[in-house]
Structures are given as C-alpha cells and as structure tokens.
C-alpha cells in the first residue's frame, strides 16, 4: 500500500465511509471487465460523497465517481486511484410534477415511479441500466427522448471551490451524449430534478412496455455489455454499417460484435479490456475504409 493510499483509507475510515482495497471493477460494471481499483468507496449519504472526494484531494489520489458502471470499460490494469460508487445514494421524492433523485437512483426505477404518479417524459429511461448521475453526465437517451428534454436542474459538488452548486437545464450545455459534466469530470453530481407532464397512466405504461419489448427484441441483454459502443453517425445507423461490413459475430478473445445488434460488443465470457479495445480498433478501421467515417466511442475507457 502506498503512503497516499494509507492516508486516504485513514481519512475514509475517519468519516465512517465504507471502502475496500484492490476491488475488482469487473464486479461493478455491466461489461464484467476490469482490473482492481486501489480503493473502492461506497458513501451512503450525500455529505459522505463530498467528504470522500475531499479525502481523495487531501491524499492527492485520483478519483472517479461511478454510477452503475453501464457506460464504462475499466482497463485490465485496473485503476490506480479511488473509485467512488454512488450505489447507496438512491433517494427519490415526488412533488407535484417534479421528481428529485439522488445521483445513485436507478434511471429505470424513476421511470417506473413517474409512471405510477401519472407523470410523462421519462418513458425513454425505462430499460437504461444506469443511475441518475451517469444519465445526467451522459445525456442518456433513447427512442427520441433524452435527459436534456426533462431535466430541470442538477446539483453538484465542485471540489475546486469546495461549494455545492445548482445549475439549470441551459447551463448543462447539452448535446448528443455531451454535457458540461463531461468537460468538468472533477465535478460530482449529487442529485437531479426532473420536471414532467401529467398524463394518462395507461398511455405512459403502453409506451414504456413498447420500448422494453423493442429492447428485448433488438439488444443482446443476455450478455454483459456496455450498450452501444459507438456514437451515432450523422445520416447513418452505426449498427447497420457494422453489420453491412460483415462484422456481426466477429470475435477477439472473449469480446464479440453481437449477432443480435452489431452496435453492441458483448462479453462472451472472460473478455478483457484489451480484447474489447482491439475489436473497437478493427471496427473503426473497417468503417473508415468502407464508409470514410470516423466512429467515436460512446463507452468511456478508464485506466
Ligand atoms: C444493455 C444496455 C443498454 C443501454 N441502453 C442505453 C440507451 O438506450 N441510451 C443511453 O443513453 N445509454 C444506454 N446505455 C449506456 C448507459 O446505461 C447510460 O449511458 C447510463 O446513463 C450510464 O449511467 P451509469 O450510472 O451506468 O454511468 P457509469 O457508467 O457509472 O458512468 C458513466 C460516466 O458518468 C460519470 N458519472 C457517473 N455518476 C456520476 C456522478 N454522480 N457525478 C459525476 N460523474 C458521474 C462517470 O464518472 C463516467 O464518466 C446502455 C447500457 C447497457 C449496458
């Protein structure tokens, strides 16, 4: 254990923040890939989340905040720093047409709560396996909906000034899978408030059920993955391009281009980050040669 790591663990323990050392990231990501993080902290209050970040700053240890790990690829070499999980920050409250959620609340769960309260706008979130913080960070979206359409405001902790800030929708600078948080990864999203429309519960349910059926029919949900690996390309369906290049089923080690949806890379068992990265390179090269397009990764590689 390094001196800094020892200092960090001492600080976390002092704040009564649960943590483990050398925690395999394959256990905390939907890809089921990734080496060990030096420290894995699981604060159970917003205040402890802030204190965990402060502890990393004091111990000069790099950190990353992790939601459900459904849009990340941790490297086989692991992460030499602290991974701070939001999995215990799951509070959700409904007030009129607003739903306010802790950053670790399940994005699918808030769609269900919205439906049960006859609130429309979050139907698209049903089936996205992330947490609210990750969804706000990524501007997650599906079936024509995205976070930017329903987010009223989010609250974050800014370690640079040690303050808690609330920013409105416009201040998120949202674009396709882009947000202000992507430009400021040091900021820690604490919570988010969504403003929804009153609507008929059955209509909301029908929409959600339809989206879920479509996911089950089109996506390889039976295998570990991180969803669509690449961003959409203007005027092209990325999955279709990859399929047309004959890459469905193409395999490197344990990683495979899904036979069901060519935009997904799946872990067929024992895949390493090196397998996935090699497969990504091959796909990119073929798409460049075949279509003259440069694919951009949506999945975030963490090392
Ligand atoms: C089967 C499957 C289907 C999917 N379908 C969709 C889809 O339809 N649409 C879509 O947009 N995505 C989809 N995804 C991708 C993913 O679920 C979303 O991007 C989701 O919003 C990521 O949330 P997360 O909590 O898992 O984030 P993580 O993967 O844990 O983190 C993603 C990024 O957000 C940052 N982050 C997370 N929480 C915080 C926080 N509190 N403060 C600051 N930064 C934070 C992390 O540091 C990281 O950089 C799918 C994934 C899978 C596996």
67-124 pLDDT tens trace? 999 999 999 999 999 999 999 999 999 999 999 999 999 999 999 999 999 999 999 9
pLDDT (average), residues 5-30: 98
Report d(CA 103, CA 155) in Å as an integer: 9
State the distance from the centre of ligand 1 to the C-alpha of 213, rounded, in angstroms: 21
Which CATH topology does 3-85 take? Answer: 3.30.43
**Residues 250/257, Cβ–Cβ less than 8 Å:** yes
Which CATH topology does 222-302 take? Answer: 3.90.78
Q: Report the SS3 class of residue 54.
A: helix
Atom of ligand 1 nearest to the CA of 156: 42
177 is catalytic: yes
Q: Look over the chain and give the mean of its residue pLDDT values, rounded to a whole number.
A: 97
Report d(CA 285, CA 288) in Å as an integer: 5
Across 113-143, b (16+ Cβ under 10 Å) vs e yields bbbeebbbbbbbbbbbbbbbbbbbbbbbbbb
CA 146 to chain CA mean position, Å: 14
State the distance from the centre of ligand 1 to the C-alpha of 239, rounded, in angstroms: 19
Report d(CA 110, CA 272) in Å as an integer: 32
- As a whole-number percent, the residues of the chain with pLDDT over 90 amount to 97
Which positions ≥6 away from 77 have C-beta within 8 Å? Answer: 35, 303
Report d(CA 198, CA 291) in Å as an integer: 44
How does pLDDT run across 33-77, given as a tens digit for each residue? 999 999 999 999 999 999 999 999 999 999 999 999 999 999 999
Catalytic one of 191, 228, 258, 273? 228
Per-residue pLDDT band at 235 (split at 50, 70, 90):
confident
Q: Is pLDDT above 90 for 236?
A: no
Report d(CA 69, CA 76) in Å as an integer: 15
Q: Report the SS3 class of residue 96.
A: coil
**Residues 280/287, Cβ–Cβ less than 8 Å:** no
134 Cβ closer than 6 Å to some ligand 1 atom = yes
298 is catalytic: yes
Q: Is pLDDT above 90 for 1?
A: no
Report d(CA 228, CA 286) in Å as an integer: 17
Catalytic one of 23, 46, 146, 298? 298
64 Cβ closer than 6 Å to some ligand 1 atom = yes
Structure token digits, residue 84: 């701070």
Task: Tell me which DSSP letter residue 26 carries.
Answer: G
Would you state the pLDDT for residue 70? Answer: 98
Would you state the pLDDT for residue 234? Answer: 80
Reference 150, options 166, 135, 165; nearest CA is: 135
State the distance from the centre of ligand 1 to the C-alpha of 127, rounded, in angstroms: 12
Reference 268, options 253, 282, 254; nearest CA is: 254
Residue 66, CB-side half-sphere exposure with 13 Å CA sphere: 29
> Could you give the angle at which helices 107-116 and 201-218 cross, rounded to 10 degrees?
150
What residue ranges do the domains of the chain occupy? 3-85, 92-203, 222-302
**Strands, E, within 87-150: which ranges?**
92-95, 98-102, 119-120, 141-142, 145-146
State the distance from the centre of ligand 1 to the C-alpha of 68, rounded, in angstroms: 7
The answer to which of 189-203, 206-220, 222-236, 264-278 has the lowest mean pLDDT is: 222-236
pLDDT (average), residues 133-160: 97
Give me the sign of the Cα torsion angle 26, 29, 30, 33.
Answer: negative
- What does the angle CA 243 – CA 252 – CA 276 come to, to the nearest 5 degrees? 85
Pick the CATH number of 92-203 from 3.30.465.10, 3.40.710.10, 3.30.1330.60, 1.10.150.120: 3.30.465.10
Report d(CA 117, CA 275) in Å as an integer: 44
């Amino acid at each position: 254990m390094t001196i800094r790591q020892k200092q960090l663990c001492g600080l976390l323990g002092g704040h009564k923040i649960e943590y483990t050392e050398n925690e395999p990231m394959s256990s905390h990501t939907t890809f089921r890939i990734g080496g060990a993080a030096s420290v894995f902290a699981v604060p159970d209050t917003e205040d402890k989340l802030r204190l965990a970040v402060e502890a990393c700053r004091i111990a000069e240890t790099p950190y990353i905040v992790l939601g459900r790990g459904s849009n990340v690829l941790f490297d086989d070499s692991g992460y030499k720093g602290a991974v701070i999980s939001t999995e215990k920050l799951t509070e959700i409250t409904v007030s009129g047409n607003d739903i306010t959620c802790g950053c670790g609340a399940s994005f699918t769960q808030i769609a269900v709560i919205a439906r049960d309260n006859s609130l429309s706008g979050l139907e698209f979130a049903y089936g996205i396996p992330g947490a609210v913080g990750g969804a706000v960070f990524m501007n997650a979206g599906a079936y024509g909906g995205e976070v930017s359409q329903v987010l009223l405001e989010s609250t974050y902790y800014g370690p640079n000034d040690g303050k808690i800030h609330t920013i409105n929708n416009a201040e998120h600078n949202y674009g396709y899978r882009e947000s202000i948080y992507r430009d400021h990864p040091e900021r820690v999203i604490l919570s988010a408030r969504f403003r929804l429309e009153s609507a008929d519960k059955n209509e909301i349910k029908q929409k959600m059920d339809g989206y879920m059926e479509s996911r089950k029919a089109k996506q390889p949900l039976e295998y570990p993955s991180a969803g669509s690996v690449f961003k959409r390309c203007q005027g092209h369906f990325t999955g279709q391009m990859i399929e047309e290049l004959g890459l469905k089923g193409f395999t490197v080690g344990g990683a495979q281009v899904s036979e069901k949806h060519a935009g997904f890379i799946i872990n067929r068992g024992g895949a390493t980050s090196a397998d996935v990265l090699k497969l990504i390179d091959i796909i990119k090269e073929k798409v460049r040669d075949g279509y003259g397009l440069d694919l951009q990764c949506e999945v975030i590689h963490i090392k």
